[in-house]
């Protein structure tokens, strides 16, 4: 008996093949070619990074973009860098992740009730995608969120992800006033689409090493997401 591919798997394959942003494709390919000395023996992924998680997810974690030597190396969101080292232990404690640490696509990690994606699918120079590159990537997020039929909560990891979600609401036809949606850690909003969003500082080393984002702060966000999503 032939099993038809999950629509999210088909979409992920299309994302991996995307070449809409020449600057990003050149940057990611060059990083994969040169490599960081610590990962000299790795075969870098070097392509747009597909999303990861539970197709029946009620919660979406929306990030900024792959890290140059993290996801761009491993091929899985938040895997292989400092942001992921901070994120996955919290997801494990909150009941979303099967393992407390993520190292590669083959480490056996499973997510339950959660899907992880980002507003940009390629590692950008300086961690700063251009507005045009975010615009090019937006249709992937739109298609993906439409396929997540049980989705009801979006945790936005950082201001750019938060702005990206609000822009999606506008693409759906919502006449929202941005002044009514202020980004701050743990800020919570009901959106016109019916989704609820919780904002969080991004788990970058810049935020976690300085104490701007602590583990208890981050854990509280995902515990709240479980409550809003109706997950026991």
Condensed to tens digits (0 to 9), the pLDDT of residues 169-186 reads 999 999 999 999 999 999
Check residue 232 and give its pLDDT.
Answer: 75
Classified as helix, coil or strand, 230 is: coil
- CATH for 7-229? 3.40.470.10
For the segment 142-163, the average pLDDT, to the nearest whole number, is 98
**Rounded-to-integer distance, Cα 202 and Cα 216, Å:** 14
For the chain, the structural domain boundaries read 7-229
* SS3 category, 21: coil
The DSSP bridge pattern shows strands 188-190 and 196-200 to be antiparallel
pTM of the entire predicted model: 0.95
Average pLDDT of 57-84? 97
- What confidence score (pLDDT) does residue 2 get? 65
pLDDT class of 191 with cuts at 50, 70, 90: very high
- Residue 162 has a pLDDT of 98
107-122 pLDDT per residue, tens: 999 999 999 999 999 9
């Amino acid at each position: 008996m032939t099993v038809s591919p999950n629509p999210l798997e088909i979409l992920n394959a299309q994302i991996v093949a995307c070449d809409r942003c020449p600057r990003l494709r050149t940057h990611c390919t060059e990083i994969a070619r040169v490599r960081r000395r610590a990962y000299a023996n790795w075969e870098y992924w070097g392509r747009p990074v597909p999303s990861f998680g539970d197709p029946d997810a009620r919660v979406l974690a929306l990030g900024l973009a792959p890290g140059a030597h993290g996801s761009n190396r491993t091929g899985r969101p938040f895997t292989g860098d400092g942001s992921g080292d901070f994120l996955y232990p919290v997801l494990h404690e909150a009941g979303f992740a099967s393992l407390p640490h993520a190292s590669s696509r083959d480490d056996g990690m499973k997510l339950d009730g959660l899907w992880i994606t980002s507003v940009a699918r390629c590692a950008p120079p300086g961690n700063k995608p251009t507005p045009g590159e975010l615009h090019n990537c937006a249709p992937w997020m739109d298609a993906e969120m439409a396929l997540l039929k049980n989705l009801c909560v979006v945790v936005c990891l950082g201001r750019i992800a938060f702005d990206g979600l609000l822009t999606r609401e506008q693409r759906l036809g919502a006449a929202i006033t941005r002044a009514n949606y202020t980004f701050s850690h743990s800020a919570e909003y009901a959106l016109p689409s019916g989704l609820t969003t919780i904002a969080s500082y991004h788990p970058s080393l810049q935020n976690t090493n300085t104490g701007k984002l602590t583990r208890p702060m981050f854990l509280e966000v995902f515990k709240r997401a479980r409550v809003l999503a109706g997950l026991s």
